[in-house]
């Protein structure tokens, strides 16, 4: 493995940053990490998952690898150096990386130039407020994202959306755990859910979900800041959790406790290679696999509470 040392520069312009935006004027310093990988697949997706656990919030695919962005105050550089592909000797894999500090600036205009409409087959279209809606197909969801995967671009959000759209009837009580932009909670309400609880550990995500709910005329979504502790004493017919493998494993007991018998648990945020491990953990709590979905190297599980 070849590695290039850290290089910190001050930079005052950005070519193309996906997922960075806010409904307000956003000024903050970000670390941009550029990584070139040979071969690119499957290592790029693996590195994205690792960096997401270490404070990086947004990712851009490049021909040779990825660019990752995280708030300077939140990114754990030491952990990143020690615990990711950037610090591992892997046979037949070449890794080169560099970094830049991006000065405070308004991310809105930068993001708008790159964000494109997303279609989930012909059943749903995810748009930003500035997009032309005349060619949208299926259900229309308008999202003004801040800094998360939940815009429909990421494979896991796409699979979770498709799984919801494929249900014959949407259950009444829904939990969206790790809601991000709220896109799955919004879709659940549009499909007929009567009460939706959307939870996220990030304050900005909760606020973004509330804003997007209003934007889509959704009135049945309650967005809360917190974790699985908020689930005590609650019951749901459907739980959506698009997070990552380790968190899903640690939450499985709580999900199983608060989901009704016959209820559905939809999980994503992990790789196809992780599915057996998650299925085995779910089985310990009476959750049985109903369907396995894959998109590129990512996977989603639909489980039923027995």
Q: Which residue has the higher pLDDT, 184 or 63?
A: 184
Mean pLDDT of 93-112: 67
Q: Which residue has the higher pLDDT, 240 or 114?
A: 240
Q: Is the pLDDT of residue 121 over 70?
A: yes
In angstroms and rounded to an integer, the radius of gyration of the C-alpha atoms of the chain is 19
Q: What angle do CA 145, 146, 151 make, to 5 degrees?
A: 35
pLDDT band at 131 (very low <50, low <70, confident <90, very high): confident
Q: Is the pLDDT of residue 7 over 50?
A: no
Show the domains of the chain with their CATH numbers.
10-110 (3.30.70), 115-305 (3.40.50.150)
Mean pLDDT in the chain?
A: 81
C-alpha span between 298 and 305 (Å, rounded): 23
**Encoding tokens for residue 257?**
């406790």
pLDDT band at 65 (very low <50, low <70, confident <90, very high): confident
pLDDT band at 13 (very low <50, low <70, confident <90, very high): very low
Instruction: Kindly report the pTM of this predicted structure.
Output: 0.69
Percentage of the chain lying above the pLDDT 90 cut:
44
**Encoding tokens for residue 210?**
């509330």
Per-residue model confidence (pLDDT) at position 86: 64
Predicted confidence (pLDDT) per residue in 246-268, tens digit: 889 999 999 999 999 999 999 99
Query: Beta-carbon neighbour count of residue 143 at 10 Å?
Result: 25
Q: Is the pLDDT of residue 30 over 80?
A: no
Q: Which residue has the higher pLDDT, 68 or 303?
A: 303
Q: Is the pLDDT of residue 10 over 50?
A: no
pLDDT band at 166 (very low <50, low <70, confident <90, very high): very high
Q: Is the pLDDT of residue 20 over 90?
A: no
């Amino acid at each position: 493995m070849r590695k290039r040392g850290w290089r910190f520069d001050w930079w005052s312009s950005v070519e193309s940053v996906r997922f960075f935006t806010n409904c307000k004027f956003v000024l903050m310093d970000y670390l941009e990490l550029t990584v070139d990988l040979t071969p690119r697949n499957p290592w790029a997706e693996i590195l994205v998952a690792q960096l997401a656990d270490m404070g990086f919030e947004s990712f851009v695919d490049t021909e040779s690898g990825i660019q990752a962005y995280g708030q300077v105050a939140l990114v754990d550089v030491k952990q990143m150096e020690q615990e990711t592909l950037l610090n591992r000797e892997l046979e037949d894999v070449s890794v080169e990386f560099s970094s830049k500090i991006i000065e405070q600036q308004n991310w809105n205009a930068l993001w708008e130039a790159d964000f494109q409409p997303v279609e989930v087959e012909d059943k749903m279209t995810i748009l930003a407020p500035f997009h032309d809606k005349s060619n949208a197909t299926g259900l229309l969801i308008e999202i003004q994202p801040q800094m998360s995967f939940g815009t429909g671009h990421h494979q896991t959000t796409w699979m979770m959306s498709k799984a919801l759209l494929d249900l014959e009837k949407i259950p009444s009580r829904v939990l969206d755990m790790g809601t991000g932009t709220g896109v799955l909670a919004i879709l659940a309400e549009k499909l007929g859910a009567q009460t939706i609880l959307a939870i996220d550990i990030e304050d900005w995500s909760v606020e973004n979900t509330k804003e997007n709910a209003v934007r889509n005329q959704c009135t049945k979504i309650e967005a809360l800041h917190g974790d699985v502790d908020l689930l005590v004493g609650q019951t749901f017919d459907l739980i959506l959790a698009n997070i990552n493998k380790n968190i899903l494993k640690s939450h499985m007991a709580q999900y199983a406790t608060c989901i009704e018998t016959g209820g559905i648990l939809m999980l994503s945020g992990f790789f196809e290679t992780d599915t057996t491990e998650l299925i085995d953990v779910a089985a310990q709590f009476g959750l049985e696999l109903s369907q396995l979905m894959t998109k590129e190297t990512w996977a989603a599980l639909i489980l039923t509470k027995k």
